A and B are shown apart, each in its own frame.
Chain A
Amino acid sequence: MRTSVTGHAVGSERHARLRERLRYALRTPAIGPLTALFIAVVVFWITTDTFLTPQNLSLVLQQSIVIGTLALGQSLIILTAGIDLSNGAIAVLGTIVMAKLAFEGGNPGVALLLGLAVATFLGLVNGLLVARLGLPPFIVTLGALTVVFAVSSLYSDSRSYQVTSDLLLFWGYGIQLGAMRLTWGTFLLVGLYGLFWYVLVNTAWGRHVYAVGDAPESARLIGIKVWSTVLSVYVTAGFLYGIAAWQALGRIANADPNAYQTANLESITAVVLGGTSLFGGRGSIIGTLIGALIVNVLRSGLTQAGIDSLYQDVATGTLVVVAVGVDQVLRRSGSR
């Protein structure tokens, strides 16, 4: 909120207030979503005898890899009070670039780098439009979604490409522990979340991300470069979408221009379930990972319990509304 009052006293008071708020935001643990996850697991453990098996749990992890990685980028953007509707489309274009180039006899390593570069570049374009031109993230990424989806169809000639290169399929390989299969992709997912949790909590950049989302004006007044922080977030997210594309090929050895049409909303669902505020500036990255897991635990568990897809959607949707309700309650009673 802008006030017409300026001056050092107000500046330093704001500074202190902002610091206090940040400290609180960073301390907010992912305890809510973790409890929900725990309840869900216990419920399915009681009501089915096939949910809590090593094989099924490792499958739930694998099912969370692509959306989990997309949700990580989405989390960063939502922390800056933005939103990204184009992440699924960007990842799909990434898969098409990687798979098509390799399919046409190109070097898989080059194909991979180009795929990552394209995704990162699209993040940069989104970021410039949002941070530099000040356009609303919703509008920018809605436009990007439409454009990128069409480009994927054009570039792929609207066909899907099978992938055989071991490098491109790498994240789908892994280790077998009895009935449990842990793919390298699972380790990467956990590793990425660990890395970003550390960066957000322990580096200046991480604190700046929280600050520009919570109160951009105050952040500007205490000398944070707001636009370059926001831009760096979109570029980072774009790169993560490229990684998600690589992960997706490991999961399904096929790049399909029609895939992941609902990944944008699913990644937002994971972020919201994880307790991150859509108003920016508050939330935890680990919460997002748990949010992604909750969605897939619900799907898997309800399937084991013999519930059809549509009822599963009812449960997931209800859960999201409850999570947002909790978020509102928290905002009213907490940081305002």
Chain B
Amino acid sequence: MPDIRYNGRAYPLSDGQSVLECLIEHGVSVPFGCRSGVCQACLMRAETGHPPEASQKGLKPALADRNYFLACVCNPRESISVSLPCREGTRTPASIVGMELLSSEIMYVSLQPHELIEYRAGQFINLYQAENLARSYSVASLPTEDPYIHIHVRRVPEGRVSNWVHDALRPGDTVDIQGPNGDCYYQAGSPEQSLLLIGTGSGLAPLYGIIRDALAQGHTGPIRLFHGSRTPNGLYLTDRLRELTQTYSNFDYTPCLSGEPVLKGYARGRVHEIALSKLSDLKEWRVFLCGHPEMVKNAQKKAFLAGASLKDITCDAFTSHATFR
């Protein structure tokens, strides 16, 4: 039975257990977020032994080369000694410079990192509520046009971080952030390609960033955004997006509501079903899917069957572990 050695102690790893599960089971407090190998909040480093390849998926090569790994998806076959990355190396303090409620559920937060963070609109950062508690938020701002980093925080029922943002965080406060992470962003080089963007709830944040990035870089092909929610409270920036359709003839925006009531100006139904019913041939299209994991998964399949190549479909599913809100 392999051991996980951490801080001078050895913890036996049960069959099929991840390093993170093992440490938590033994009462060791380490940071984590999504528990799905996505958010990178549980980043650790192997001091001895090699982390399995699967636990390094999505890490920057520079980190993978130095034996960093994600504890939540690390199932080592042999004993390893692990440590937390030095705090200075990965986290940056940031000042809250602005906050605004965009709808009853969505809080816009503007952050000024204390050191330069190079990011692309659509990537995500981790926001720390406490030393060991982080959540991932996609970036809606554009580094070339906005002086600060913008995120949209949807209030999740019983969500520990989102409720803290809505109820306790105030402009002037300082928080820790880490990032950027992820490959959900606009890639220049095919300005005539058609873009389809489908999002639910605060999945609009990365899409809004990607759209502005594409337009700023002179994208000439059609850009079609479908934003969905059950109720109007989950939709936001509708006026701003309608304005954008006036300014750019190649940009098109369809807000969708899947629940009651039926409102004028909104399409009725599930957002990805509406999008795919309007666009039946996605051959050569670039597709971005952000938000609810079920929507992202279903839309990925439908987009592929409609002709989009898998490599041209970028998925950003908001994972949340039910017991770790």
Do A and B assemble together? no
